[in-house]
Amino acid sequence: MSLKKIEAIIKPFKLEEVKEALTEAGIEGMTVTEVKGFGRQKGHTEIYRGSEYTVDFLPKVKLEIILGASVVDKAVQAIIKAAKTGKIGDGKIFVLPVEEAIRIRTEDKGEKAI
Amino acid sequence: MTIQSLIGWRPVLVLSALMVTAFGAIAEGPEPTLEQRVAGLEAYLGNGDPTAALKDDKGNIPDGLTTASVGVAGPAHNAWMMVSTALVLFMTLPGLALFYGGLVRSKNVLSVLAQCLGIAGLVTILWWAVGYSLVFGKSFASPFLGGTEFLFFKDVTSAPNTDYAYWLSQNVFSMFQMTFAIITPALIVGAIAERMKFSAIMLFVGAWMFIVYFPLAHMVWGITGLMNGVWNADAGIKAIDFAGGTVVHMSSGWSALVLCMILGPRIGFGKEPMPPHSMVLCMIGTGILWVGWYGFNAGSALAADGVAANAFCTTTLATGVAAFVWAVAEYFDKGKASVLGFCSGVVAGLVTITPAAGFVTPGSAVLIGVAAGIVPWFFCTRVKKWFKYDDALDTFGVHAVGGTLGAFLTGVLATTEVNGALSTNLADLVGKTLYVEQLKAIGLTLVLSIVGTAVIALAIKALFGLRPNTEEEREGLDVTDHEEKGYIY
- Residues B411 and B408: their CA atoms lie apart, in Å, by 5
Report pLDDT for A39. 86
Show pLDDT as tens, one digit a residue, over chain A (114 residues): 699 999 999 999 999 999 999 999 999 899 999 999 988 877 888 889 888 888 888 999 999 999 999 999 999 999 999 999 999 999 999 999 999 999 999 999 998 888
Per-residue pLDDT of A88-100, as tens digits, reads 999 999 999 999 9
Partner A contacted by B394 (CB < 8 A): yes
CATH class belonging to A3-113: alpha beta
The answer to whether the CB atoms of A49 and B273 lie below 8 A apart is: no
pLDDT band at B1 (very low <50, low <70, confident <90, very high): very low
pLDDT band at B458 (very low <50, low <70, confident <90, very high): very high
Report pLDDT for A54. 85
pLDDT band at B20 (very low <50, low <70, confident <90, very high): very low
Compute the C-alpha angle A40/A46/A51, nearest 5°: 130
The residue ranking higher by pLDDT, A28 or B214, is B214
pLDDT band at B69 (very low <50, low <70, confident <90, very high): very high
The answer to whether the CB atoms of A47 and B384 lie below 8 A apart is: no
Per-residue pLDDT of B407-428, as tens digits, reads 999 999 999 999 999 999 999 9
- Contact yes or no for B326/B401 (Cβ under 8 A): no
Report pLDDT for A41. 79
Partner A contacted by B334 (CB < 8 A): yes
Q: What is the largest CA-CA distance in chain A?
A: 60
Give the chain A residue whose CA is nearest to the CA of B383.
Answer: A50
Of B275, B385, B397, the CB nearest to A48: B275
- Contact yes or no for B129/B199 (Cβ under 8 A): no
Supply the ipTM of this predicted assembly: 0.75
Report pLDDT for B18. 47
Residues 429-468 on B with a CB inside 8 Å of A are: none
The answer to whether the CB atoms of B340 and A46 lie below 8 A apart is: no
* Alpha helices, H only, B388-484: 395, 401-413, 422-426, 434-463, 470-475, 477-482
Of A50, A53, A55, the CB nearest to B380: A50
The answer to whether the CB atoms of B380 and A49 lie below 8 A apart is: yes
Partner A contacted by B382 (CB < 8 A): yes
Report pLDDT for B489. 79
Q: What domains are defined for chain B?
A: 2-54 (no CATH), 75-482 (1.10.3430.10)
Report pLDDT for A111. 87
Report pLDDT for A52. 86
Per-residue pLDDT of B232-259, as tens digits, reads 999 999 999 999 999 999 999 999 999 9
Of B273, B336, B394, the CB nearest to A49: B394
Give the chain B residue whose CA is nearest to the CA of A55.
Answer: B273
What does the domain layout of chain A look like in residue ranges?
3-113
Per-residue pLDDT of B262-305, as tens digits, reads 999 999 998 899 999 999 999 999 999 999 999 999 999 999 99
- Residues B123 and B93: their CA atoms lie apart, in Å, by 14
Closest CA–CA distance from residue A43 to any residue of chain B (Å): 14
Q: How confident is the prediction for chain B on average, in pLDDT?
A: 94
Residues of B in contact with A54 (CB under 8 A): 273
